[in-house]
């Protein structure tokens, strides 16, 4: 089983060959507040991709440990897609997948909400990745399934999802709706809430 701290270290290692932007402290010395300021200041010019990728391991790390930080997984997912992840070296792509898998493996110990689960699944879709392996991780826990369902219950009657970011990835959103309608997930929801999807 992956652990989140190990996945963060692997992510940092996979991106450690990216040159540190001029005048920027060591990645791990940057506070979430400073990180936010750097991201808003630095990414408005042509060389933003390398700088974004330099900050990415720290961004992801802060995103899962800093509860009161501005981090929005869906926005990060969109930004990652803009860096053309298909062109990344394999070790970077694998490290990101390892990190994302670890996010879901640690969801129960972090007591993630349905909103958090939905944000990460949507972020993965916006990165251009297949959401099904990550839904399989959610499906390993009845608690996570029910939290995720509660976040989307009002919309699932119209076969849609509550997160507005899904409008940017409707095909992957449909995969999530289909997952909710799959036998195991649907049966758990019916047993727990008496509701048949």
Summarised one tens digit per residue, pLDDT across range 143-176 is: 999 999 999 999 998 999 999 999 999 999 999 9
| Domain residue ranges in the chain | 1-95, 107-197
pTM, full prediction: 0.90
pLDDT higher at 39 or 45: 39
The pLDDT of 11-21, averaged and rounded, is 93
Distance, in Å, from the CA atom of 94 to the CA atom of 193, rounded to the nearest integer, reads 38
What would the pLDDT profile of 54-84 be if each residue is shown by its tens digit? 999 999 988 888 766 778 899 899 989 999 9
Task: Please enumerate in sequence order all residues whose Cβ is within 8 A of that of 184, keeping only pairs 6 or more positions apart, or say none.
Answer: 139
Distance, in Å, from the CA atom of 48 to the CA atom of 41, rounded to the nearest integer, reads 10
The pLDDT of 12-40, averaged and rounded, is 85
Look at residue 43 in the predicted model and tell me its pLDDT.
Answer: 54
Distance, in Å, from the CA atom of 58 to the CA atom of 129, rounded to the nearest integer, reads 21
């Amino acid at each position: 089983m992956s652990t989140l701290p190990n996945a963060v270290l692997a992510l940092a290692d996979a991106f450690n060959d990216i040159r540190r932007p001029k005048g920027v402290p060591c990645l791990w010395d940057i506070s979430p507040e400073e990180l936010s300021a750097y991201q808003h200041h630095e990414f408005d010019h042509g060389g933003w991709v390398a700088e974004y990728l330099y900050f990415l391991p720290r961004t992801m790390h802060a995103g899962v440990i800093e509860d009161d930080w501005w981090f929005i997984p869906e926005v990060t997912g969109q930004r990652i897609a803009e860096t053309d992840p298909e062109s990344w070296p394999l070790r970077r792509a694998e490290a990101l997948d390892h990190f994302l898998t670890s996010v879901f493996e640690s969801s129960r110990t972090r007591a993630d909400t349905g909103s958090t689960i939905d944000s990460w699944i949507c972020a993965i879709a916006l990165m251009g990745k297949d959401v099904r392996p990550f839904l399989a991780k959610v499906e390993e826990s009845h608690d996570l399934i029910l939290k995720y369902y509660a976040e989307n219950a009002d919309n699932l009657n119209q076969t849609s999802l509550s997160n507005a970011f899904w409008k940017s990835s409707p095909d992957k959103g449909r995969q999530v709706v289909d997952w909710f309608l799959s036998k195991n997930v649907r049966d758990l929801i019916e047993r727990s809430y008496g509701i048949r999807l």
